[in-house]
Structure 1
Amino acid sequence: MLKLGAAMLDKPELERRAKLIVTECDGIQPIFIAFYIEAIYYAAERAEVAFANFAEGAKLAQSASATVASAQEALGHAAALSRFFFPVEKKALPRARGARLRQLFAVSNNSPLQNRELRNAIEHFDERLDEYLLGDIAGYILPSPMVEDSDFADETLGHVFRLVDPKTKTFVLLGKKYPFGPMHYEITRIAELSRAMR
């Protein structure tokens, strides 16, 4: 049972309501669209602020840890934003809601937010580190966060755990490069649109 306010809703009632919202409202009741816009605005605006902190940190040559943390924070908010448009859950209601929000915000199916590779690499860093360390590791091991040219990660005798390249907007995790420039642009676009919708 789910408690909503004073009402208790059992699973069959929740499923019945979800089905109605999918079939009658394209995934979101019209009176509740404002709540989704506000949630999307929050995630996009927080990502914008973190990206601005990242750019400022890189420009002022702040500590690598702080600069990488700002980029990682922005990408974490991007992951939250992504789930509104491309929900992980395969049930009908989240799928319909995602499709409706993609329509409202003109988010295409090939949006950078749809790609889960970087998001998963950050969210599951611990598991990927476990696997990475199972390999044959020799040479320089650089576990501390770095702000460098992403080509530095191509060095065959080195192992870069976490690096960000402000010029190319590339995040490197465990030697693998993930460009995030297009995602940054998409987040800015969505933030501006959600700001106008509020």
Structure 2
Amino acid sequence: MAMTELDGDFIFLTFALTESARALHAIEQVDLLAAVRVQVQPGVERREMQSVFDHIRLALQFSANVSKIFWPHQNAAARGQRLRKLANLPDRHALADRRLRNHIEHIDERLDDWTTPSPRPFLSTQMILHADYPHGERRDEVINATAVVYDAQSNSVILFGDIFSLSDLRQAVLDVQGKCSEALTKAAA
């Protein structure tokens, strides 16, 4: 086969491998950026927020793209099954969970549902709860009044009330990445 002619499955596996690497990089950046503290003046700190959420969104989007390759919508089920077999991935896998994907792909619908009890308590569409944020009732209020929350202490994202561990997501993406790499190595041999 010429270098410019590749099997479609090889292309899908390569795409999944690339998106996995991008997701893992973004997850790593979330940890690093959430730890940034700049003292503006005595007793006043500035912490990263927007860049943390930018990387959360990237991590979730890239992870969702990997999920779509191996656990696609019904009209591409045969492709997903074939690629899972090539990569030795189970039908049931953490990335097969469609809740995260659906939140990302249907954010407008989630916002419709979230804003339906209007007027509603509203703090922000996104908020970071740093590890030193007080626990208790106030923390729960922030979670209930915010669409997307990054909880730095548990390293999780709360999307419209659903909790997704970035540590667990990282492990799931690493698993898929390793299996894609093995499948590509076999395919190239």
Out of 177-186 and 75-84, give the one that drifted further: 177-186
Q: Distance in 2 between matches of 1:176 and 1:80?
A: 20
- Aligned with residue 184 of structure 1, among 159, 167, 170: 170
Out of 79-88 and 163-172, give the one that drifted further: 163-172
Output one character per residue of 1:15-42: Cα deviation in whole Å (capped at 9) or x when no partner.
xxxxxxxxxxxxxxx9443212211111
Count of aligned positions: 165
Q: Does 1:105 align with 2:91?
A: no
8 Å Cα contact 1:154/1:175 also seen in 2? no
Q: Distance in 2 between matches of 1:143 and 1:190?
A: 34
> Which secondary structure state, in structure 1, belongs to the residue aligned with residue 150 of structure 2?
strand
Q: TM-score, normalised by structure 2?
A: 0.74
- Corresponding residue for 2:3? none
8 Å Cα contact 2:89/2:179 also seen in 1? no
- Aligned with residue 62 of structure 2, among 56, 70, 77: 77
Any stretches of 5+ residues in structure 2 without a counterpart? 1-5, 38-46
Q: Distance in 1 between matches of 2:96 and 2:18?
A: 19
8 Å Cα contact 1:146/1:163 also seen in 2? yes
- Corresponding residue for 1:148? 129
Q: Distance in 1 between matches of 2:97 and 2:144?
A: 28
Q: Where has structure 1 moved over 4 Å in runs of 4 or more?
A: 136-139, 149-153
8 Å Cα contact 1:40/1:81 also seen in 2? yes
8 Å Cα contact 1:162/1:173 also seen in 2? yes
Q: Does 1:171 align with 2:152?
A: no
How large is the Cα RMSD of the aligned pairs? 2.7
Deviation at 1:149, TM superposition (A): 5.7
Output one character per residue of 1:23-67: Cα deviation in whole Å (capped at 9) or x when no partner.
xxxxxxx94432122111111111111111112112224521111
- Corresponding residue for 2:71? 86
Out of 115-124 and 58-67, give the one that drifted further: 58-67
- Aligned with residue 51 of structure 1, among 24, 27, 31: 27
Deviation at 1:164, TM superposition (A): 1.0
- Corresponding residue for 2:101? 119
Any stretches of 5+ residues in structure 1 without a counterpart? 1-29
Q: Percent identity?
A: 22
Output one character per residue of 1:86-129: Cα deviation in whole Å (capped at 9) or x when no partner.
111x23xx222211221222322221111111221122222221
